[in-house]
């Protein structure tokens, strides 16, 4: 499926000088190695070549290289999700689980990948739908998580939750997170959720600051349908998707979450495994 990576798309963290400089350096290296590149304006201007919009890059590339952090990676994953184009993540130094390749490793790792020494990691995505007055208003496919959260000054909210139409519980809490295994190291982890191995077919349901302390995170199978009904007269409640898309909710709105038919494909070096990434990112074993 991925025998030859000839057409390379490069996505940068927006308005970030280091990302732009790394992107220019990488682009020169790729051109010197006979690759076709599709880049945004900041790189194209520096190299005096044609620039493309992000949507155009997504259409042309065989593989996408993301230079930035996990936020940039997540936005690209949503952009290219229908094409099955694999992604390589280059980290700029922050806590990135998806952009795991360091700047120091970049050229050696890309050389390995272009020589066929790589693995492709398939990650499940989820689809969330907003239902209001029995009508579906919006549908989104994301890689990390769906979060229902109250505003800073709002009271705790009630979230009546069902699994495959069977009543689970009503969370009285500041909010609720439904995360994929990939999203288990994001907001869910901060809220006390477990870390799941990325290839496990499951969801995590994690309450945020629950009023009932026995309400703990729960892991459910990835083929279930999760339904959350907002029962709150407070108007200051929002839903966020991958931490990047958000809009307000109304009382009695219903959010459904299920496994998407689409996936994200991450190209990784064989030199590094998931547990090494966890140790390094979470500073395990450092005293």
- Residues with active-site annotation: 70
Strands 7-12 and 63-68: parallel
> Which helix (H) or strand (E) element contains residue 22?
helix 17-32
For the CA atoms of 237, 76, 190, 106, the dihedral, rounded to the nearest 10 degrees, stands at -160
Output the six-digit token pair for 31: 């051109």
Residues 126 and 241: their CA atoms lie apart, in Å, by 10
* Coarse DSSP helix, strand, coil percentages of the chain, rounded to the nearest 5 percent: 25, 40, 35
Calculate the CA 71 to chain-centre distance.
Answer: 7
| CA distances for 235 relative to 247, 250, 277, angstroms | 12, 6, 40
């Amino acid at each position: 499926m991925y025998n030859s990576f000839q057409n390379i798309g490069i996505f940068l963290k927006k308005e970030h000088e280091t990302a732009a400089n790394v992107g220019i350096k990488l682009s020169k290296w790729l051109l010197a190695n006979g690759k076709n590149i599709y880049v945004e304006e900041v790189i194209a201007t520096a190299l005096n070549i044609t620039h493309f919009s992000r949507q155009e890059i997504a259409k042309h590339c065989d593989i996408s290289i993301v230079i930035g952090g996990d936020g940039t990676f997540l936005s690209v994953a949503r952009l290219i999700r229908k094409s099955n184009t694999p992604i390589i993540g280059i980290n700029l130094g922050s806590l990135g689980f998806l952009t795991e390749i360091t700047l120091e490793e970049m050229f050696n790792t890309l050389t390995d990948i272009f020589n066929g020494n790589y693995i492709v990691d398939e990650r499940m995505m989820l689809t969330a739908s907003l239902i209001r007055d029995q009508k579906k208003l919006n549908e989104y496919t994301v890689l990390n998580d769906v979060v229902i959260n109250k505003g800073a000054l709002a009271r705790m909210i009630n979230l009546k939750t069902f699994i495959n139409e069977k009543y689970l519980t009503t969370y009285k809490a500041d909010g609720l997170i439904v995360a994929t295994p990939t999203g288990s190291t994001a907001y869910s982890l901060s809220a006390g959720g477990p870390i799941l191995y990325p290839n496990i077919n499951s969801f995590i349901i994690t309450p945020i600051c629950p009023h009932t302390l026995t309400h703990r995170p729960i892991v459910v199978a990835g083929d279930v349908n999760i339904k959350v009904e907002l029962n709150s007269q407070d108007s200051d409640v929002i839903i966020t998707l991958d931490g990047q898309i958000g809009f307000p909710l109304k009382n009695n709105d219903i959010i459904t979450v299920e496994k998407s038919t689409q996936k994200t494909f991450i190209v990784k070096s064989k030199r590094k495994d998931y547990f090494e990434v966890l140790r390094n990112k979470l500073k395990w074993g450092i005293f």
